[in-house]
A = this chain, B = another copy of it.
Amino acid sequence: MYQFEELQQQFDKHFSHRHFPEDPASLYDPSEYFLGLGGKRIRPVLCLMGNELFDEINPDAFHVASAVELFHNFTLIHDDIMDKAPLRRGKPTVHALHGEATALLSGDVMLVVAYEELNKIQSRYTQKIMALFNKTAKEVCEGQQLDMDFEKIDLPGLSQYLHMISLKTSVLLAASLRMGAILGGAGEGNQQHLYEFGRTLGIAFQIQDDFLDAFGDPEKFGKQVGGDIIANKKTFLMIHALETATEPNRKALKQLMAENPSDKVTKVLEIFKACGIDEWAMELKDQYLASAFNHLDDIAVWSERKQPLTRLAHYLVQRDK
């Protein structure tokens, strides 16, 4: 059994080659550049871990893992266009360097190349893997659209946010695990529990992310604390605060969001704390984490095979940077 970091190295070795033709360079070099920006490769490694939970790693798992990573990068290139983001991982985005039209096409062709990877696996798996991949791809698009719709809603409910976050980020984590499990010969019940483990872990991770943006230690967090508050982002914290604060606090929050004073972060955090949002968020995270571990427990394989996933889950939601 391999730990996350070991599989990360194995995947990087498999993935670090040119994925696109040389010509025309005006189309393919931008795609290649974007893949070279790196990242933690969490999704492809989850695919390998989902596979190894049930069996020795099937060589096809590397193709599916590559497809997942290519798909993820395709969504990032297109999301960056939609968000008009100038930077990704500290480097200029594709549209910032080459214009929106080329960025759009570079993303399109990356999605096609993801399907080329899927077409390399043994044909007895193709239909099942493709079905889950396609379903997930549609859901990720739905999540991105809901996220854009969401920004226009004045007072969104927590359940709407959960639904959106689940589609936008969790289902790909869950599907990566499950596609690995399919290649490992897992039964339907085990596949479902592993999927739910990934989905609920993804939500716990997002809660942690929203929490750290507000309450993280600036020394360890690595990016500006309070960024979401400054940008008026509708996070778990802000939505719950607007739903549960006393009327004066709710009015104060609305006013801070409308007026953007220089002490906005401090003031919003004071209200968050007065409403107990920090404790609430940690409790909610723990609930999702407990649910994730329940699903992992219910998978019918020796518990020692689960150790790398257990360790990864703890690492992902207890990180402070």
Contacts and interface: CB of A to CB of B under 8 A. Distances in A.
Contacts of A104: 78, 81-82, 104
A56 interface: no
A146 interface: yes
Oligomer copy total: 2
Contacts of A123: 123-124, 126-127
A154 to B, nearest CB: 17
Size class of the contact patch on chain A = 35 or more
A102 interface: yes
Contacts of A107: 108
A104 B105 CA distance: 10
A111 interface: yes
A253 to B, nearest CB: 27
A1 interface: no
Contacts of A27: 141-142, 145
A131 interface: yes
Contacts of A142: 24, 27, 109
Interface in A118-171: 118-119, 123-124, 126-127, 130-131, 134, 137-138, 141-142, 144-146, 148-149
